[in-house]
């Protein structure tokens, strides 16, 4: 297993967790489109700077062309709609617990898309994980609707 990739995969949800709490607590009154403009403009500048400073001579960071570029633009549209709905949920008063719990559905939907895209059926471990994940999601959402109580 690639340890650098595992580190990235571990760090991302930690940072997303922090970001979600900040959005819920400090930015909930800001329109989702305004947040998207601010976030994506910042991401664009940082990505361009990082690419220029760290990977200038690395051929693997060449800009995509042809059908790969079309796929990248297609995914950008998917991410736009997803981010619009995700950030918009905070503006509609959904709690950080419910929003982040529902992101646990991503592997379920990814498996369904994979099933239709490449005809790959999830194995028994994945299916069991989805079942346990569904229970976890329900518990987190129910818990987020309860008043704060001290731990048992």
**Predicted local distance difference test score (pLDDT) of residue 150:** 59
Question: How does DSSP assign 74-112, residue by residue?
Answer: HHHHHHHHHHHHHHHHHHTT--HHHHHHHGGGHHHHHHH
Residues of the chain with pLDDT under 70: 1, 148-152
What does the pLDDT read at residue 22? 94
3 state SS of 75? helix
- 70-94: b (≥16 Cβ within 10 Å) or e: eeeeeeeeeeeeebeebbebbeeeb
Q: Among 144, 72, 143, 138, which Cα is nearest to 105's?
A: 138
Residues 67, 70, 75: CA angle, nearest 5 degrees: 130
pLDDT of residue 152: 56
Give the predicted TM-score (pTM) of the model: 0.78
Judge whether 78 and 106 are in contact, CB under 8 Å: no
């Amino acid at each position: 297993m690639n340890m650098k990739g595992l580190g990235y995969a571990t760090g991302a949800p930690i940072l997303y967790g922090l970001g979600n709490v900040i959005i819920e607590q400090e930015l909930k009154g800001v329109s989702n489109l305004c947040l998207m403009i601010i976030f994506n403009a910042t991401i664009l500048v940082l990505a361009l700077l990082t690419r220029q400073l760290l990977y200038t001579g690395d051929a693997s960071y060449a800009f995509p062309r042809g059908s790969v570029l079309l796929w990248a633009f297609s995914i950008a549209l998917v991410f736009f709609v997803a981010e619009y709905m995700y950030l918009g949920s905070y503006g509609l008063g959904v709690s950080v617990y419910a929003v982040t719990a529902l992101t646990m559905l991503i592997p379920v939907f990814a498996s369904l898309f994979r099933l239709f895209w490449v005809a790959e059926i999830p194995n028994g471990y994945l299916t069991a994980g989805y079942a346990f994940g569904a229970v976890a999601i329900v518990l987190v959402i129910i818990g987020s609707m309860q008043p704060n109580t001290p731990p048992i």
